[in-house]
């Protein structure tokens, strides 16, 4: 354990950070967990975790990964096993107790808008799971460069056509500024904006005064993230009208 690390000339992953856009697909495909997204870039967690086989290369849409041959610590299978065990303990559950594997994208077929006089067939427009701000990791793939909605809990109950008018082609996060932990939500939303870099951020709130806290949260999060993102506010009345 305390001895010097043995290095040998072998094949190991190389990351071109100029090409990397931080999408995270490589990290998801690395069975050894050798890759992570840190500060919006793929990073090699530890050289001895990389087996040099390059399973991650084909997953990178930017061509940022290659295999090079250089001096590096030997691949340590036992260290990888221990690392993955500890990682699973930390990531096995979302804050609600659900397994982290429940983070998923949902493919939806294109639906046609009904012609005048035809009965509309209402389908869910939700494209991912989970939706609660507290539960969604900032690195979730569905957040990357998305048009993002931050929605007050009550909005989908009050506004009948929420899916049709707002949710389609958007990633959604749900929160309540009155009942939830505002500071925890602010920290999470800041991380989401910083790492996912959404194209736009729309906050949809109820007309009640306490719900304005969502607008305040969004403005603080965008400012703290250092990102320049257009922000739009939509207000829904208790009667279900878009004000």
Domains of the chain: 7-91 (3.30.70.20), 100-109+126-236 (3.40.50)
- Residue 240 corresponds to which tokens in the numbers above? 């279900």
Does pTM surpass 0.85? Answer: no
Can you give the pLDDT at residue 12? 94
Provide, rounded to the nearest whole percent, the portion of the chain with pLDDT above 70. Answer: 83
Mean per-residue pLDDT of the chain: 84
Place of tokens 């930390």: 90
Token pair belonging to 242: 């878009």
pLDDT band at 98 (very low <50, low <70, confident <90, very high): low
Query: Residue 116 above 90 pLDDT?
Result: no
Residue 156: is its pLDDT beyond 90?
yes
pLDDT at residue 114 tops 60: no
Residue bearing the bigger pLDDT, 89 or 46: 46
Rounded to an integer, what distance in angstroms lies between the CA atom of residue 229 and that of residue 231?
A: 6
DSSP annotation of 73 reads E
pLDDT at residue number 4: 47
Please report the pLDDT score of residue 184 as a whole number.
Answer: 87
| Coil, strand or helix at 170 | coil
pLDDT of 134 strictly over 90: no
What's the CA gap between 230 and 209, in Å, rounded?
23
């Amino acid at each position: 354990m305390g001895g010097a690390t043995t290095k040998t000339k072998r094949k190991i992953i190389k990351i071109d950070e100029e090409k990397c856009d931080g999408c995270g697909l490589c990290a998801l495909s690395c069975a050894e967990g050798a890759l992570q997204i840190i500060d919006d870039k793929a990073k090699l967690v530890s050289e001895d975790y990389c087996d040099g086989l390059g399973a991650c290369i084909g997953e990178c849409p930017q061509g940022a990964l290659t295999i090079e041959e250089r001096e590096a610590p030997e691949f340590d299978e036992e260290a990888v096993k221990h690392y993955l065990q500890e990682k699973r303990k930390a990531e096995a559950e979302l804050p609600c107790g659900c397994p982290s594997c429940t983070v998923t994208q949902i493919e939806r077929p294109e639906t046609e808008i009904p012609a005048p006089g035809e009965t509309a067939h209402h389908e869910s427009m939700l494209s991912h799971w989970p939706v609660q701000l507290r539960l969604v990791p900032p690195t979730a793939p569905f957040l990357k460069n998305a048009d993002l909605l931050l929605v007050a809990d009550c909005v989908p109950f009050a506004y009948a056509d929420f899916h049709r008018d707002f949710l389609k082609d958007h990633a959604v996060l749900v929160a309540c500024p009155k009942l939830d932990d505002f500071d925890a939500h602010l920290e999470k939303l800041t991380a989401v904006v910083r790492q996912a870099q959404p194209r736009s951020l729309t906050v949809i709130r109820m007309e009640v005064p306490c719900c304005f806290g969502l607008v305040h949260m969004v403005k603080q999060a965008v400012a703290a993230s250092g990102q320049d993102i257009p922000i739009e506010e939509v207000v829904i009345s208790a009667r279900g009208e878009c004000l």
